[in-house]
Chain A
């Protein structure tokens, strides 16, 4: 039997809780329930967010494609995030604005709340209100929301290249980025 596995609903929900526990543990222990650390990258004073994020992406990415190459995982049964080009470009931009203003993103706001932060609770109510606003305005947004539907393409598929031709430079990029950040932080703290 190849992964991913068919399990009962109860097992599936139990697994979701377990994944959530480790998700929360890694974010909290990474310091990502703290809005000062979460916004630090944008003020070039704390590089925790890109370090945690790119390490996680690289680890999961290498693992995913390696398991697929070894036929231990059927990639066709993994749900790949669909691309809607313009809505995601605009959505990502607005999201970045909201991130710096609030100091959190949705997952890290939950971590902020779980570590006692009242501002994170207010932020979560804001997310709910923003979702409601989206649903109310949906008749005016629907056409744009559904536009530029590209299916679920991956970068190697789009480029027509083997996935390792993308992954190796990505890992190299992350490595160089981490090296520069460590250098910068050392210099910054020495001053």
Chain B
């Protein structure tokens, strides 16, 4: 059943695939999202508690003294935000709301957003990226990493959805 508010998923997918291909062809790299969020986290927490954050070995590569946010992934994320904002505004699809499952309370929703986010933030660091950087980019490259991620992500998702039927149904 076609949802009239959006493009056909095949058209959206073709535009996404063409964008990814252009990034491969011109810049020799794929898309990504979680790395930029980690970079902003490392830099902002370093500004607040420099001694504590400065000691974290994993964040060492993210903490750079000169213009840390002048970074490819950050600019990609800015584009991602502006592109989707323009798209939502121009099509009348922009609406401020707390989106949640039908039977979910407001506090439950805030809690699921936060805990799911924490889990994803942690998992993406372990996996070296997220749906964009590993599944999509790696999947298109036929990289083993990409297909490990695609298969485990969907398998785990189906199991959790079966256990938590009321979450989104």
A interface vs B, CB < 8 Å? 3-5, 7, 9, 12-37, 39-43, 45, 47-48, 51-61, 63-65, 67, 73, 77-85, 87-120, 122-136, 138-139, 141-142, 145, 150, 152-156, 158, 163, 166-167, 170, 178, 185-186, 188-189
- Whether A154 contacts B56 by the Cβ 8 Å rule is no
> How far does the alpha carbon of A134 sit from the alpha carbon of B119 in the complex, in Å?
10
The complex places the Cα of A44 from the Cα of B61 at a distance, in Å, of 41
- Having A107-B132, A132-B42, one finds 20 other A-B pairs with CB under 8 Å, namely A7-B27, A16-B75, A20-B78, A26-B19, A48-B9, A52-B16, A60-B24, A63-B17, A63-B18, A78-B141, A87-B126, A89-B148, A100-B168, A116-B97, A120-B113, A128-B121, A129-B118, A130-B120, A134-B58, A135-B58
A residues near B161, Cβ cutoff 8 Å? 39, 42-43, 100
Interface size grouping (class) on chain B: 35 or more
B155 touches A27 (CB 8 A): no
Q: Determine chain B's interface SS by DSSP, over half rule.
A: helix
| B5 close to A127 (CB less than 8 A) | no
On whether the beta carbons of A73 and B116 are closer than 8 Å, the reply is no
Q: Contact: B110 with A122, CB < 8 Å?
A: yes
Question: Which of chain A's residues has its CB closest to B32's CB?
Answer: A107
Q: How long is the Cα–Cα vector from A18 to B155 in the complex, in angstroms?
A: 33
Could you say which residues of chain B place their CB within 8 Å of the CB of A30? Answer: 6-7, 9, 12-13, 16
Chain B residues whose C-beta falls within 8 Å of the C-beta of A81 in the assembled complex: 30, 128-129, 133-134, 137-138, 141, 143, 145-146
Contact status B157-A22, CB under 8 Å: no
Q: Flag B131-151 by CB within 8 Å of A: 1 or 0 each.
A: 111111111111111111111
